[in-house]
Amino acid sequence: MTELPLTSAHRAAVQRRTVLVLSLGQVLGGIAFGATVSLGALLAADLSGSDALSGLATASVTLGAALCAIPLARLAAKLGRRRALTLGNTFALVGISIVILAASVRLFPLLLVGILLIGAGNAGNLQSRFAATDLAAAEHRGRDLSIVVWATTLGGVAGPLLLGPGEVVGAAIGMPPQTGSYAFSFVAQCAALILYLIALRPDPLLTAQRLASSAAAATGASAVDRPRVARYAIFAIAGSHVVMASVMAMTPVHLAQMAHGADGMAPTPADVSALVGITIALHVGGMYALSPLFGILADRWGRLRVVLLGQALLGGALAFAVFENDSEWGVIVALILLGLGWSAATVAGAALLTESSAPELRTRRQGRSDSLMSLSAAAGAVLAGVVLSTFQYAGLGVAASVIVLVIVVLSPLAMRDRSGTRTLAP
């Protein structure tokens, strides 16, 4: 492998190239995930013959991401980001093929296996944001990470938009119904795999490890590790994700209940779908559109301040959910603020986790963070359904507020360790 000269100009140039490659990969990789989120529940309901089992599609994609986050992170630590990301693409390609096969033979368990593998591929997409920090200068770490997060928007939006054209293409080439857009997903995943293999050179993580070893050998100093800060960052990321995922997952149900409970003529399914679509679209815009801004703020204001800004935004969202839950505009504002709060907390939290971890522990903790984030979101979505049915939407807002409060109360744990003592306990 070509050695990287220890010059700041060369390192900055390689980092710019790395962020560009990762961003393009996120756009391509996100297409398959967006299509799966849109079609998975429909295919599951069709093949199982029961709407009650349609939720297993979402559970499978989340489980796949959770199960593979740590193994992919360990692979990255040993062999580099390029190997880990391309393995994630490979998982997704196999998963897409299995989904198409399952739809063809109408076998529901096989469909869940395919969706689980697509989720495993999404674990690689999640890892891309951390890959953007491997060679980033400390003063630009949040910005570089947030650019890759922002690129996720393009793939996530493109996936659902390809559903209509995909069905036309799928019908023309003889694919099973409701799987046509996976043809585009397969091509996109192949393109992402080739992109990483060819363009993600030198490998950012291996290069960063080599530079850290050279610096340690030259100065005789070890990198400072702050495990308490890292644990707080992992908790803040997971907690913010649970708040977002649980409230977002139940909002379509609440909006449908509001529409049917309103006075006057009962709404048509198209009316309900339009309202839900607009609300979720604005929510997704809040999640990703301003992520570069939050990345820049994290660099300038500090990681912890932006994590707490995220909690303030989440708190505002939940206040609307509690006190304005009977109005459409109140729910829409809540979902926009929910997306903005998630964006601020997860971008700044990921930067905090990266810089508080010694190089040899960094990828391990990043994998744990992604795994915990996925698992806790799945559990939160399930529990949110119970809370909604028992205590209504306002009760869900109150329950989620407890998590926000705990993140704020524990924030002193993220204060910089003034002792400078190195501890390798993860």
R_g over Cα of the chain:
22
Per-residue pLDDT at 250: 81
Per-residue pLDDT at 38: 62
User: What type of residue is 403?
Assistant: I
Output 328 or 421, whichever has higher pLDDT.
328
Confidence of residue 46 (pLDDT cuts 50, 70, 90): confident
What is this structure's pTM?
0.83
Per-residue pLDDT at 245: 87
Task: With beta carbons less than 8 A apart as the criterion, state whether 81 and 205 touch.
Answer: yes
Give how far Cα 163 sits from Cα of 179, 392, 409, Å: 9, 33, 44
| Chain segment 359-406, per-residue pLDDT in tens | 889 999 999 999 999 888 878 877 887 888 888 889 999 999 999 999
* 3-class state of residue 267 by DSSP: coil
| Chain segment 236-266, per-residue pLDDT in tens | 999 999 999 888 878 877 887 777 655 555 6
pLDDT at 78 over 90: yes
Q: What domains sit in the chain, N to C, each tagged with a CATH number?
A: 8-208 (1.20.1250.20), 227-414 (1.20.1250.20)
Look at residues 346, 416, 18, 74 and name the one whose alpha carbon lies nearest to residue 208. 18
Separation of alpha carbons 138 and 391, rounded Å: 45
